Structure 1
Amino acid sequence: MKMVARLFVAVLVCLSCLGRSAFAGELLVVTDENLPPFSFVRDGKVVGVDVDMLRRAAAKAGASVRIEALPWKRVLHLLENGGTPWAMPLFRTPEREVVSSFIAPLHFSTMGVFVRRGGEFPFTSLDDLNGKRLGYNRGYALPPDLSEAVRQGRLQLEEVASTAQNVEKLLAGRIDCFVANVENVDFTLVGMASRQDVVLLPKRLWERRPAYLVIARAAEGKETAGTVASLRQALESLHRDGSYARILAQYTLSP
């Protein structure tokens, strides 16, 4: 019985792997399922700025791609543990460079601090966040100085699964503020009755931080070198020729 049970488990594992593997010649890229307007699921389809950018770049590079949207923590886990060769969109950090090669930016992220209207406070440096309950999306790479402030216990970080949850907690008074991508918050607030109650403080945590398509270092080799180079050139050309700006406008103007 034990042998039968082990065989059954092995078959299930194999079937699971086959279900997630790409077809021959197809690149399987995993992405965040809840980062509008950059990558998200709408009517059962993976859409967004990064998704459109990658598909256009792949067409230019003569490659075929399949994009799978997953919870962000799972994307990172798969990338770090050999479960996927390609992933997006990642900020470049020393820790991530150990397991990934950063190919080219898909989008550029501006991050700010959001508060409830009437709860604004002077914000000129991270010291102004001391003692605050700060919301943040789970698994995202914090700026190094903000990470250090959390490590020192100068502020309390509360992680959630999505920006919508941060908005909910903010309006309920369960956090003092949250940090997030500006375009992501704008997109999330569209159609919300409470949209005017969420205020972006003037100072930004960062401007135009690049978010990349990456390949796992374990997946790199002679057989991928040409694809990597072609995708890099194609993505860079989409930023130069204005395609990125036009794609971004399509999502931010009419979500």
Structure 2
Amino acid sequence: MPTKNNNVRGALLGALMTLLPLAPANAAGEKINLLTQNFPPFSMAVDGKNFAKEGAINGIDAEVVAELFKRAGVPYEMTLRFPWSRLQDLAEKTHGFGVFSLSRTPQREPKYKWVGPLSEIQIVLLKNPDSPIQLSSLEDAKQYRIGSKDGSVGSQYMITRGIEVQSSLIDTPAKLKAGQFDLWATTNPSGEYEAKQAGVGPLAVALTLSRVDLYLALNKDTPDEVVDKLQRTLDQMKQEGLLQQAARRYVN
């Protein structure tokens, strides 16, 4: 015959079981869908197209992030696609998603959980090497046509300072070369690398605006234990010099 204690234990166990589906996935079991863009030399499709998965993606940060998740034992799937603004929106609003390489601006800070930094970039205005444009400040640039990749850190830098930008999805270096705009708001080393790969470069730096760290940005529903484990693993990789080794494979 069941005892009163058995009945109580059974009731408690039943109540606990009803709560289990609401518990967050554990750090080892939650797969994260990682999104990135063609952002050379940090992430690139091997075939140069605007869609790639897993081993068809290379670049400094792509290598670092893949190794990071493997070392941390966190399941992941990596996809390269565009447009960049859409990827950021997916990572912000969709459980189980993350995006890299993203600058950690005050506007973006509350939207994600962050792991990094992965790399450093310089926000720059590039021009054709034969361009007579001379800039001493951002104010000087306002008189010129400025182009930038939609959703990029260069574009955001301009827009938040009230400067009009011509949006570009693809072939931005070629558009600068063709005179569709006078200056390209982008980042180095990615801008010069992209121009070189497109057969457009070298370009000239008209003005260096800022230096910015790049991060992995995770959806805010990502369990804190996953974020903490990834950060600890990345810190260890830095101590071992793995991030510097990855950078040297792509940038002299």
**Do structure 1's residue 216 and structure 2's residue 219 form an aligned pair?**
yes
Aligned to 2:235: 236
Q: Is the 8 A contact 2:148 2:155 kept in 1?
A: no
**Do structure 1's residue 55 and structure 2's residue 29 form an aligned pair?**
no
CA–CA separation in structure 1 for the residues paired with 2:35 and 2:85: 10
Identify which of 20, 38, 49 aligns with 1:34: 38
Identify which of 152, 164, 167 aligns with 1:159: 167
Displacement after TM superposition at 1:144 (Å)? 7.3
**Do structure 1's residue 147 and structure 2's residue 146 form an aligned pair?**
no
Which amino acid in the other structure matches residue 159 of structure 1? S
Q: Secondary structure at the match of 2:77?
A: strand
Q: Is the 8 A contact 2:173 2:200 kept in 1?
A: no
Q: Is the 8 A contact 1:126 1:146 kept in 2?
A: no
- After superposition, the C-alpha distances for 1:71-90 in whole angstroms (9 at most, x for unaligned) are 11221121232264322121
Displacement after TM superposition at 1:191 (Å)? 5.0
Higher-Rg structure is 2
Displacement after TM superposition at 1:183 (Å)? 1.5
Q: Is the 8 A contact 1:79 1:99 kept in 2?
A: no
Q: Secondary structure at the match of 1:187?
A: helix
- After superposition, the C-alpha distances for 1:67-109 in whole angstroms (9 at most, x for unaligned) are 1112112211212322643221211123322321112212111
- Structure 1 stretches of 5 or more lacking a match? 1-23
TM-score (norm 2): 0.76
Q: Secondary structure at the match of 2:66?
A: helix
Aligned to 1:183: 189
Q: Is the 8 A contact 2:154 2:186 kept in 1?
A: no
Aligned to 1:105: 117
Displacement after TM superposition at 1:62 (Å)? 2.4
Displacement after TM superposition at 1:237 (Å)? 2.6
How has the CA–CA distance of structure 1 residues 199 and 159 changed in structure 2, closer, same or farther, with 3 Å as cutoff?
same
CA–CA separation in structure 2 for the residues paired with 1:70 and 1:192: 18
Q: Secondary structure at the match of 1:131?
A: coil
Q: Is the 8 A contact 2:32 2:76 kept in 1?
A: yes
Displacement after TM superposition at 1:185 (Å)? 2.0
CA–CA separation in structure 2 for the residues paired with 1:148 and 1:226: 34
Q: Is the 8 A contact 1:31 1:89 kept in 2?
A: no
Q: Is the 8 A contact 1:29 1:84 kept in 2?
A: yes
Aligned to 1:136: 148
How has the CA–CA distance of structure 1 residues 38 and 29 changed in structure 2, closer, same or farther, with 3 Å as cutoff?
farther
Q: Secondary structure at the match of 1:30?
A: strand
More helix by share: 1
Q: Secondary structure at the match of 2:180?
A: coil
Displacement after TM superposition at 1:160 (Å)? 0.7
- Structure 2 stretches of 5 or more lacking a match? 1-27
The range that moved more, 234-243 or 131-140, is: 234-243
RMSD, aligned α-carbons: 2.3
Displacement after TM superposition at 1:27 (Å)? 2.7
- After superposition, the C-alpha distances for 1:108-138 in whole angstroms (9 at most, x for unaligned) are 1112111112214332211110211001111
The range that moved more, 126-135 or 239-248, is: 239-248
The range that moved more, 86-95 or 187-196, is: 187-196
Identify which of 74, 81, 84 aligns with 2:93: 81
Aligned to 2:22: none
Q: How many residues are aligned here?
A: 217
CA–CA separation in structure 1 for the residues paired with 2:157 and 2:59: 30
**Do structure 1's residue 69 and structure 2's residue 80 form an aligned pair?**
yes
Which amino acid in the other structure matches residue 71 of structure 2? K
Q: Secondary structure at the match of 2:234?
A: helix
CA–CA separation in structure 1 for the residues paired with 2:204 and 2:190: 14
CA–CA separation in structure 2 for the residues paired with 1:138 and 1:156: 12
Aligned to 2:23: none
Q: Is the 8 A contact 2:116 2:216 kept in 1?
A: yes
